[in-house]
Structure 1
């Protein structure tokens, strides 16, 4: 799809480009009848990759978006962990255990908000953390510095805890610093989709694959 869009935008006359974009804006996916690409988005949201090629970015959660090489994968959000934490906090508050209820509840609220906004984007060469459905850049990492984008070729190893109900994903990479940098992220995405794309792009893990939810 992206190759087709690139060709249309690069070589058709301006009035033909507008005509093709207009046709594209009318196309709707089978996923909730949502518009795949609005005219205002198609006209402006054209990114330039490291090689200077112009690509149209599509943010379809849980779907695979065709690129010039491998597909871009964006796992769907998964609200199970924040819901469980908020349930535990509610139970603790009900039994008047307010001291543990407060931090557990705050953590649940934080992860609930993050689930609605944080996206893992797996493109052809790297994993990148982006923000929102428009896939805005997340800026520099607040803890270790550098961009929240890591090439698969720099991954040393990675793991899921725990595969059947994934809570944390761990990976170690040498891009941030040569001796290796460790990262932990709560799994606020579809665990099966996340595991499958990690195996495909970063190689096999020592843990077993999570079961279908």
Structure 2
């Protein structure tokens, strides 16, 4: 009986040893469990390895990413630009002087409409979306009269966009899949500062095939 108890005692005896060594500039803790049967080692297995330098690098990377996500982008509202309505009104005046009333009247009306819109319509680029607003107080513009829905489109929904023409921007075009999955096209007259508009579109919506306005 005594012999059997001693044998069981030797069989269940385990020793937990810890050793530390330098690996690749980092402090590594290695824990080994050694099992002994009649004084002979039968197994050695590393249970936990931790490289403190690697952990520190991961922590710094995660912290940097979280900080970038917490910093919101500045809201940008391009300045109004009256060049297009002025050009249209000037052209209308010339046609009227030449007694070409059928052409002068519609061009003049378009010029007056764009002149009015330039005083009130604003493109607002906030942290996550482009939104069309009106007035000095940047009030809501309501639903889009052509395709419905709010005049607000997330940058992530933009499929492509263009500015025509870079040297004298007249139209801005973009296509987004927020309004409908297959994509919805939008055209707006450039009644804003073309350079400011182009720069913020590139920053928030990605690059365009056109070059920037001069």
Take 2:105 and 2:210, find their aligned partners in 1: how far apart are those partners? 33
Report how many residues are paired.
145
Query: Which protein is richer in strand relative to its size?
Result: 2
Q: Distance in 2 between matches of 1:183 and 1:68?
A: 30
Q: Which runs of 4+ in 1 moved over 4 A?
A: none
Match of 1:84 in 2: 87
Gaps of 5+ in 1: 1-66
Matching residue of 1:207: 210
Aligned counterpart, 1:71: 74
Partner of 2:118: 115
Shift of 1:209: 0.4
Per the normalisation by structure 1, the TM-score is 0.67
Q: Which one has the largest radius of gyration? A: 2
Structure 1 counterpart of 2:148: 145
Distance 1:197 1:159 in 2: 13
Is 1:191 equivalent to 2:187 in the alignment? no
Question: 1:61 aligns to what?
Answer: none
Gaps of 5+ in 2: 1-69
Question: Is structure 2 residue 169 aligned with structure 1 residue 166?
Answer: yes
Aligned match of 2:180: 177
Out of 134, 143, 155, the position equivalent to 1:131 is 134
In 1, Cα distance between the equivalents of 2:154 and 2:77?
16
Residue aligned with 1:159, SS: strand
Deviations 1:37-76 (A, max 9, x none): xxxxxxxxxxxxxxxxxxxxxxxxxxxxxx9610000000
Distance in 2 between the 1:209 and 1:116 partners?
A: 24
What TM-score do the two structures reach when normalised by structure 2? 0.67
SS of residue in 2 equivalent to 1:104 = helix
| Cα separation, partners in 2 of 1:68 and 1:137, compared to 1, 3 Å | farther
Alignment of 1:41-60 (within 5 A): none
Cα deviation 1:101-131 (Å, max 9, x = unaligned) = 0000000000000000000000000000000
